[in-house]
Structure formats: C-alpha cells, structure tokens
Structure 1
Amino acid sequence: MNSIFKKTISIIMVIGLILAIFSGCDSKESEKKPDTGNTSSTSDTVVSKDSNFNPEGLPIVNEPITLNVLTTRWGSMGDSFTQNQWLIDLEKKTNVKIEWQVQSLNDWGEQKSIMLASGELPEVIIGSQTFNDTDIMNNKELFLDLTDLIDKYMPNLKEAMKTIPEFKTIVTFPDGKIYSLPKNLPSRPMTCNQPIINKKWLDNLGLKEPTTIDELYNVLKAFKEQDANGNGDPNDEFPICGAKGLPMDLLNPFGITDLNGTNMMVLDDGSLAYYPITENYKEGLKWLRKLYAEGIIDPESFTQDATMQDSKRKNPSVSLVGFDYAWTPDALFGQWSSEYIALAPIKGPDGKQYAAGDKNGISSIMRNEAEITKFCKHPEVAARWLDQFYDGEASIQNFWGAIGTVITKNSDGTYTLNDPPEGTSADAWYWDQSLRDFGPKYVSPEFQKKIKLSPNSGDGLKLELSKLGDPYITTPYPNVMFTVEEHESLSSLLTDIGKFVETTRADWITNGGIDEGWDNYIKQLEEMGLDQLIKIYTDAYNRFKQAN
C-alpha cells in the first residue's frame, strides 16, 4: 500500500514537473511573439493610432486631430485667408483641424530668431518667406526629412515631380535630403516688370511712345522741361522717381536684367557674369548719371522712403510721375492708373531688347513652401494633409480664392475669376481670400488650359502685358541650393560687397566720376573677396545644371 502510494506520488510529481516545464516554455514563447495588440495598454494605444489613420482616401483620420500650422503674411494682412471655403471644407473632409498661427513679416525676422533659438517650433510651417534655406540648414535637427513621407503618403506631389523634374531638384538639399516642399503657381507672367509710361503726358506734349533709349531720353527730358501733366506748373513733374535708390530695371536696355535682385549674376551668352563689374553696367550708370544731372531723376530718389515715393505717385490733385517699371500700372499709380500704358522693352545702345523674366513663370517654381517639424505628433497625417494642396482645383483656390467667392466653376469644366468688390484691387482681393503666393501648389499643363482670366485686370492683365516682353526674356540665374559652408561665406561677402556696390552706384549717379573711379572700384571689390563670391555662385550653378 505504501509502495503503491509512493509510486502514485512520484508519478504525480513527474507529471507536475513536465507540465511546469511546458508551461514555462509557453510563457517564454509568448514573450517572443509579436505584440498582437491584445496583451497591454501600450499596444492598445498603437492599434488605436494606426486604426485612426487612413493611408489613402478621405478622411485622413477617422477621429479628428489638430495640427498647429505657422505661416507668415505681408504687412497687416492678418488671417482672413483662413475663411477660404476650400480650407474650411478640407477640415470636414479630412478630419484634420488646423490651429493657425499667423505672423506678420514686418517683424518676423526678430520673431523667427527667438523661435529658432528656443528650439521649439509649430508642427507644420507654410510659406517660403517663413524659413529660408539657411534657417533650415542651420537647424536641420528641427525639421523632418520628408523623403519617405513623400514616397508613402503624397501621391499628388509624386505625380507633380514626374511632370516637373525641377520640383525634386530644387527641394533636395546638399545632404541629399528633402526638408521642404515646392510650389508651382498657376498663370504666371514670364516677364517680371514692364516699362510703364504716362500716355496722357505723351498726348499732352504731342510725343510718340519711345522705343529706343535715345527716344526715351528725349521724352523724359520733355516731361521735365514742359508742363506734361497740364496743371500750369512746368516744375512739378518727376519723369523718374525712386526710393532709397533706383529700380535696376532702368538698366534693362543695357542687358542688365537682375531678376533675383541680390546675387547680381546674369547669364551672358551662356556664361555667368557678375554684372556690377561689366562694361554694360558701367555704360548704364553713365546714362543714369546724365538723367540725374539734368533733373530727369527726382533728386530725392536716394533719400526718400517708399511712403514718400508713393505719395508722389498717388498725389491727389494731379499725376506727378512719368515713367517707371511695374507689372501693371494699377500696382503703382492708384487713381491715375488709367493715364499709364505698358511698353515693349526699350532698345538699348546695341539695338537689342532685354527683359528680366523666367520662361517657367515669375517665381512660379519655388521651394520652402512647407516643412514638417520634429514636433509634429502625426507626421504622416501632416504629409497627407499637405498633399491635398497639390491638386489643380485646390491650387487655384489657394492662389486666388474659393470657388463660389473669387472663382466661378463653369458648366464646361473651365474656371473664371470674378471681378473684385468695388474699390478693391484684384491683387488685394486675392491676398485677402487666399494663401496667394505662399504654400504648396501644383497646376498641371492640362488643368492650366481650364483657367480663363480676364485680360483687363489682375493676373490676366499681367499675362497680357507680359507678352510685350516675353520674346526678349534673358535666362535668369537659377534658384540654386548653397551648402552650409557657402552660406556662411556668402553672409559676410554679400554684406560687404553688396553695400559697397550699392553706395558706389549711388555716388556715381548723383556725383559722377565713374570713369576716374572704375579701376579702383574693381580693385577694392577684388580685395573684398569678389573672386570667392563668384566661385561660390559658379559652383552652385554647375551643381544645379548637373542635377537637371
């Protein structure tokens, strides 16, 4: 009996030991298995997050989430654009609510420095004026590399990159990563600024529209010496009126077409040239010196600010300014706009016409229109939300205004811009109603054909006037990408060299002496590092050409 009992106990103990071993194996095996989402609160959270996000289709998320988005605006424009019906509808369609943070560009430089120094940014940034190449490259740890997000979640942008290869080139930083998104604006004029002249003054004096630089000189001289505006005072006309200097467009007849404004590089017969050291530039300044010496250029042009200049352009009693450069007359002359007409580019001393412009459209293809920062809690959601902007109908509503407000969608599938409210310019209305120039956009060549613009106002008028200069557009220095080291060098070189070139130009126009001072001017530029500056521009240009 005792023997049987002992055997029974032994068998039970062996069975128990075997069960314990297998139980332990099961426990260890379960630790090795992937988390199924049913064993812990952490995995429950992951599943909940994954199930809320839709990689395709709308809504982007099933349960609403909020993105904090920063953008900048000119002057005191404010946030009226957020009431664009397309943006409102987008929130409903995507379940992505936007908490807008809108900053004025008036004091953005200071605010930007404070924000970057703090090391904390909003989740999404919109607008090329918000953060530039240097801001991004010097703070790369704050911005996400968007390469994978574009590939996985941005089909609209991927398709746009196939159509416009430059789209990918311009947003690829020197380290091979993509930190910002591009834009392609619709219906952009190819010519930047047109010569604008007061036609009523021409008629008052019985003069023809000038076509050559000599004819222009004679007209401007008559504007100065005679009572061109017809108010009985022959001394209140300003044939040319500048502010803190003169527009560089005045040198267009000499082949100086500075579209970018800061790098002072032009393409001369396919090769790069730093125009402030060219003979064309020298001859152009001599011509401006002649105009200044004869009183044709307002003597306050180098001292007055833009507000004082504007008061002369829009003088309430009579028009005071005869000639300028602009996209459209109403951009400058207010109530006197109807007196002015645009001219074809003025023929220079060589008999040729030159116009600053871009065959892709002025500022049409740009980078840094959107970034996703490392503080974004849902980068895949932000990527899908931004991708909604890369659609033709979305882009036109974010460039002009919503369908039903600014745009009419016609029964034939075309789109027409409505007239602005009485007393409001088309440009002002578009900026009030949309993101306008800022933010991601893409309009395919096929969609572009559906856009019908009036040739009498706004962007349609710009396109119409652009035709005067389109055949004479020079090739601009492209929107290149500089390395961090090049940016650091440019920062000091441009400050010193740019200031020296600007002050010397003003001195030569107002006081003369260009021939006597030219050689010393070139020597000083060389001592300031001009060769290094030109090398940086040339290296960046060559990299751009190779990438394209």
Structure 2
Amino acid sequence: MRKRKILSLFIATIMLLSIFLSGCVNVQKSGENSLPAGNEEKKTEDSNLEGNLYKTGLPIVKDKISIRIAFSPHSANRTPFENMEITKVLEERTNIHIEFEQIPSGQGSEKLNIMVASGDLPDALMRIVSNDVLINNYDAGLFLPLNDLIDKWAPNIKKMIADPMVKSQLTLPDGKIYSTPAGELAPWSQVSQYLYVNKIWLDNLGLDLPKTTEEYMNVLKAVKEKDADGDGKTDDEIPLSMVGVDNFRTLLGAFGIACESDYIYIRNGKVGYAAATENFRKALEYFHELYAEGLIDSESFAQDIQQLYAKAKSGDLFSFNQFLNTTVAGPELGPNFQHLLPLIGPDGNQEYSQTILGVSHGLVLSAKTKYADAIIRWVDYLNTDTTTMLEVCAGLESQGVWTNLGNGRYLQNSNKVPEGLNWIEWFVNTAWSTTSAPVYLGPDFIAKNRSLEGDEITANALKRALEVLEFKLDEVMPIVMIDQDISKELALINTELSLLVRNSAANFIINGIDDAQWNDYLNKLKQAKYERYVELKQNIYDSKK
C-alpha cells in the first residue's frame, strides 16, 4: 500500500514537471520576435569582448581595472586630479580607475629621468616625455611601440596621425610611434612671452607706450623717479622684474638676434649661435645699463615665478615679460598691463622668434604595462569629439568654464571667472587642462569650434599673438626625431652651453663687461663646443629643406 502511494506521488510529480516545462517552451516561442532572450544577450556581449576588454563602445572594460599614470600639472593647479569631477565621470564611463602619480610642476624632467634610469615606470606617462627622452631611450625596451595598437583600437588617433606634420613629429628613427599626439596648437602657442607695462601708470606720467629700447629705458627711469602709481611716494615702484636670464632672451630681437631657447637662430639658411655674437654683447650692455640705473629688480636672478606674481599682485610692479598679464598680476590688476610690440633696437632691428607649433607627447606607455589595449582605447576615447575633449580639458559643461552653443561651436566663459580666481586658475583647477591632458587640439581647432563673441580672454590672446607675430622670423628649426647619437651629443653640449651662458649673462648684466671678459667668455664658449653645436643644428636644418 505504502509503495503504491509513493509510486502515485512520483507519477504526479513527473506530470506536473512536464506541464511546467511545456509552458516555458511556449512562452519562449511566443516572445521570439520581441526582446532577445538572455542567452542571446550574452552572445552579443561576448562577441564584443576580447578577454576583459570591450572592442567598441563604453565601458572600455567589463571588470574595473586600475592603471598608474604619472603627470605634472600646470603651475597654477591646486586641485588633485583624482578629486576633479571629470576624473570621476571618466571612471564611470570607462570602468577604468586612474591612479595618478603627480610630479610637482617644474620637476617633470628631473623625476622622469630618475624613473627612466631605474626602469620603474608606471603604466603610462602623460604629457611629461620630451623628444630627447624618447630619442635617447626608445631602443632600451622601456617604452611600448604603439603603431599596431593604434591601428587596432584607436580610430580617432589614427586620423590625427594621418596628418603628415603630426606623423613626422611622432615617428622615431626606427619608424615606430611611441606616443599619442597632444597639445593645443593655437596661434598664441607660437608666442612664448610678451613684454608688459602698466598702462595706468603711463597715463599718470603722461607717457605713451614705448616703441624703442631707448624709449623703454626712459619710461623705466620715469617710473623709478616719479610717483607713477599715484600714492604720494616715489620710492615704492619696481620698474622691471624678471625671472632669470632666460626671461631676457625674448628681448634679443631688438638687437637683431631673435633666437630659440637654446640661442640658435637662422638667417638666410645659415644657422648661428646668438650668444656668441657682438649683438649679444650689445644686448648685455643695454641690460647692464638698466640694472646699474636701478631699473631692474635686484632679485630678478634669484626669484622664482611665484615671487614675481606676488610683486605684480601687490601693485608695486610696472613691467614684466611673461605670457598672460592676468596670470601674473591677477584678475583685478592684470588688465592694467598692456603688451608692447617687439621693441625697435639701436640699429633699427625689430624681430620676434616664434615658437614653432609642435605636437606634444600625450601618452607614452611602459613596455611592462598589462593594460596596453585598454589604455589605448581609453586615450582614444578622450579624443572622440569636441565635447569629450572639452570635458577632459575644461570640465563638464555644468561646471561653467565653457558653454555649448548648439551650432557645432562652443564659448569659453572667460567673462564668468569666479571671484578670487584668474582665468588660468579657474581653467586648470576645473579639469586636466590643455597642458596636462593627452588630448590633441590641432591648428584649426580654435577657428572651427570656438566662438570669440563674449570671450574677451581668447579674443585678446588672439589679437596679441597676431600683432607680435607680424614681426616673426619665418626661418625656424624644424621639429624632427633625429639619430640617437646626434641627440645625445646635442643634449650634452647644450647642457654645458646653457649653464655657461646663463651664469655669464647674469654676471655681465649685474657687473658690466669689458673686452677681456668678453674674449674670455667667447673662449669658454668654444671650449664648450658651441661651433660643433651649430654644425649639428645646420645639418638638421639642411636635411628638412
């Protein structure tokens, strides 16, 4: 009896299970033409996966990964990148966490050299690798060639590298590319510094903007001797303050030797070394006269940039030689400073040495990284379109730095800077900025995408640049990836030359110069192989004619 009950229960269970399964099959069949079944969703997802990496779209990886990136922020940056809103948003979109290794501003080269020498590199280096570092180390197995990765995973970067100018500046002598392109190639990027004077003080003194070196000296004397700021005192104004000898270099155009940062200049196809010319001596004698008259701040050869900023913001400084007036003097006093056109020198020279538009190295990958594919997809996403690039460089639209105008163009809200900040401070503390982000904004990006109406900062920057570039020299040293041995030789010679010129020039400006001292200086330049340096530079210039 008991066995018969168990058998009946077993048969009933089988019948119920059969009915349930039949119903499930019917439900699935009835829904074939609506939503995909779960196993079909999985099949689609798997087809877009290669390991943990999605081949297209967002997120970039299925399971979150963490990558280490070393970078150096803008000098005005005070907000850790990991705390920025865009950093958090990018992690949400891509499923990639960035562990930033911040190198203090101004220490990028030193710290990078230590990393390279030890071989202890993070997954990627962001905007801190120079041409010299790449050329001198690309064959040491430290950095990962990116050609194949870009072809496979980075359609946006591939389009950028299709530009011959971009490709030539990124391609190493072995024919490979080791970095993604980056940088903002705007017109003002061709101007390194402007000579500014306080227009309000000039008006107080009844003086016009100086046009010549002689007029500039006379204006500085008037500032020193009279009550230029109108506070009833004649001893609290600083006529001119600089930051080291390099700050004087951009004024050499008045003496017919406008040159690049290594003192190389080109005239009629001939390369020369400005710091070894008689005109350089004339410039030093002019600067010494300014110094002897008490017109140059005595701390100019010892102070750093922040000390200069403090003097300008205090309201005691009349003239300085920097890029942006509001960065130096702040949002309130900055607009009082008017840039000058390149000064006309004693022999009628009026030149400006433009900074050649160069592509920066955006992201360089360590050969040891486990996440090369994901990193390339990540940096390619950052360069997807105008909106994404703006978000990375200037923050989310809701943060106010920029506004989408809805017509394919955007407005930079330079007229809405929060109180207590200048434009640069707001810009570089909201997002990664154009100086640190691995984003490439080509020569036509501003013209195509940015509206100048209501953007006084950009309009003025463009106006300043175009006015000064009227006097630019068209002959410039091309940016090329040269042979490793030549690169090392150039770097070695230039290190010694730069130190010699910097120390000698500072001494001559402060103490003056006579024939014996000048001849001794020229002999030291020869011993430091400046003639060999010029020869190598001439070969580079000739190779790209």
Same fold (TM over 0.5): yes
Q: Which stretch of the first structure deviates more once superposed, 150-159 or 456-465?
A: 456-465
Q: How does 1:99-138 map to 2 (within 5 A)?
A: 99-105=99-105, 111-127=111-127, 129=128, 133-134=132-133, 137-138=136-137
Contact 2:135 2:487 in 1 (8 A): no
Q: How does 1:479-494 map to 2 (within 5 A)?
A: 479-494=479-494
TM-score, length-scaled by structure 2? 0.80
Distance 2:85 2:308 in 1: 37
Contact 1:392 1:442 in 2 (8 A): no
Distance 1:309 1:345 in 2: 22
Look up the equivalent residue of 1:394 and give its one-letter code.
T
Secondary structure at the aligned position of 1:273 is classed as: strand
Secondary structure at the aligned position of 2:353 is classed as: coil
Distance 2:147 2:299 in 1: 51
- 1:426 positional shift: 1.0
Secondary structure at the aligned position of 2:196 is classed as: strand
375 and 239 in structure 1: CA distance in 2 versus 1, 3 angstrom threshold: same
120 and 324 in structure 1: CA distance in 2 versus 1, 3 angstrom threshold: closer
RMSD value, Cα: 3.0
2:326 is the alignment partner of 1:330: yes
Aligned residues: percent identity?
29
Secondary structure at the aligned position of 2:441 is classed as: coil
Secondary structure at the aligned position of 1:449 is classed as: helix
- 1:326 positional shift: 2.4
2:370 is the alignment partner of 1:377: yes
123 and 136 in structure 1: CA distance in 2 versus 1, 3 angstrom threshold: farther
Q: How does 1:175-254 map to 2 (within 5 A)?
A: 175-185=174-184, 187-189=186-188, 190-245=190-245, 246-254=247-255
Task: Identify which of 396, 416, 420 aligns with 1:423.
Answer: 420
Equivalent residue, structure 2, for 1:314: 313
Look up the equivalent residue of 1:409 and give its one-letter code.
N
Equivalent residue, structure 1, for 2:165: 166
Equivalent residue, structure 1, for 2:394: 400
Contact 1:417 1:454 in 2 (8 A): no
Distance 1:257 1:82 in 2: 42
CA offsets 1:39-83 (integer angstroms, 9 cap, x no match): xxxxxxx99972543434444334443333332224584654445
Distance 1:449 1:126 in 2: 26
CA offsets 1:366-386 (integer angstroms, 9 cap, x no match): 332211112222322221211
392 and 272 in structure 1: CA distance in 2 versus 1, 3 angstrom threshold: farther
135 and 340 in structure 1: CA distance in 2 versus 1, 3 angstrom threshold: same
* Runs of at least 5 residues in structure 1 that lack an aligned partner in the other structure: 1-45
CA offsets 1:306-360 (integer angstroms, 9 cap, x no match): 4544443233xxx322222222321222353243212222223343432233474
Deviating above 6 A after TM superposition, structure 1's stretches of 4 or more consecutive aligned residues are 46-49
Contact 1:187 1:459 in 2 (8 A): no
CA offsets 1:67-100 (integer angstroms, 9 cap, x no match): 3333222458465444555544443443333333
Contact 1:481 1:540 in 2 (8 A): no
90 and 514 in structure 1: CA distance in 2 versus 1, 3 angstrom threshold: same
Equivalent residue, structure 2, for 1:12: none
Contact 2:242 2:321 in 1 (8 A): no
Task: Identify which of 347, 351, 369 aligns with 2:348.
Answer: 351
TM-score, length-scaled by structure 1? 0.80
CA offsets 1:446-479 (integer angstroms, 9 cap, x no match): 6742212467654443223223212112244343
- 1:148 positional shift: 1.4
- 1:515 positional shift: 4.0
Q: How does 1:231-310 map to 2 (within 5 A)?
A: 231-245=231-245, 246-259=247-260, 261=261, 263-310=262-309
Distance 1:350 1:454 in 2: 41
Distance 2:446 2:312 in 1: 38
Contact 1:407 1:415 in 2 (8 A): yes
Secondary structure at the aligned position of 2:251 is classed as: helix
- 1:431 positional shift: 1.0
CA offsets 1:207-266 (integer angstroms, 9 cap, x no match): 11112222222222222222222223323322212244453223232233345x2x2212
Contact 1:71 1:130 in 2 (8 A): no
Contact 2:76 2:428 in 1 (8 A): no
- 1:156 positional shift: 0.9
Equivalent residue, structure 2, for 1:340: 337
Distance 2:48 2:466 in 1: 57
Look up the equivalent residue of 2:333 and give its one-letter code.
W
Look up the equivalent residue of 1:198 and give its one-letter code.
N
Contact 1:353 1:472 in 2 (8 A): yes
Equivalent residue, structure 2, for 1:535: 535
* Runs of at least 5 residues in structure 2 that lack an aligned partner in the other structure: 1-45
Equivalent residue, structure 2, for 1:366: 359
Contact 1:84 1:402 in 2 (8 A): no
Secondary structure at the aligned position of 2:467 is classed as: coil
120 and 221 in structure 1: CA distance in 2 versus 1, 3 angstrom threshold: closer
Distance 1:251 1:270 in 2: 20
109 and 285 in structure 1: CA distance in 2 versus 1, 3 angstrom threshold: closer
Distance 1:302 1:63 in 2: 53
Distance 2:286 2:341 in 1: 20
CA offsets 1:102-137 (integer angstroms, 9 cap, x no match): 33246556654553344332222211x256632673
Contact 2:276 2:525 in 1 (8 A): no
Secondary structure at the aligned position of 2:141 is classed as: helix
Secondary structure at the aligned position of 1:322 is classed as: strand
474 and 138 in structure 1: CA distance in 2 versus 1, 3 angstrom threshold: same
Secondary structure at the aligned position of 2:254 is classed as: helix
Look up the equivalent residue of 1:157 and give its one-letter code.
I
Distance 2:318 2:296 in 1: 10
Contact 1:398 1:434 in 2 (8 A): yes
Look up the equivalent residue of 1:324 and give its one-letter code.
F
Equivalent residue, structure 2, for 1:147: 147
Contact 2:131 2:481 in 1 (8 A): no
